[in-house]
């Protein structure tokens, strides 16, 4: 189980990444999940991304908040 999967609703995970393609791909990956990208900081040689788990529960094809 990944750290993202272990997040409880409202918790924030900070991720450090050097791949600029992550900035393009991650929002699309998170689109159908209960997680959101809340902050991106570009620092010397890497990106600092903050992900937050929301309160949405997936039930079949519907989302319940």
Secondary structure of the chain as H, E, C letters: CCHHHHCCCCCEEEEEECCCHHHHHHHHHHCCCCEEEEEEEEECCEEEEEEEECCCEEECCEEEC
Q: What is the pLDDT of residue 34?
A: 87
Total domain count, the chain: 1
Report the chain's C-alpha Rg in angstroms.
Answer: 13
Each residue's pLDDT tens digit, 15-51: 999 998 988 898 888 888 888 999 999 999 999 999 9
Using the predicted structure, report yes or no on whether residue 2 has a pLDDT greater than 70.
yes
Of 21, 20, 53, nearest in space to 38 by CA: 53
Place 63 in a pLDDT band, splitting at 50, 70 and 90: very low
Q: Which domain holds residue 44?
A: 3-64
Q: Does the pLDDT at position 65 exceed 50?
A: no
Rounded to whole angstroms, how far apart are CA atoms 38 and 24?
Answer: 14
- What's the CATH number where 24 sits? 3.30.110.40
Whole-model pTM? 0.72
Average confidence (pLDDT) over 3-24 = 89
């Amino acid at each position: 189980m990944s750290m993202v999967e272990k997040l409880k609703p409202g918790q924030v995970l900070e991720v450090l990444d050097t791949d600029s393609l992550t900035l393009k791909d991650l929002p699309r990956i998170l689109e159908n999940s209960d997680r959101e990208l809340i902050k991106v900081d570009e620092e010397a040689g890497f990106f600092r991304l903050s992900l937050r788990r929301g309160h949405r529960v997936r039930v079949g094809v519907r989302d319940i908040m």
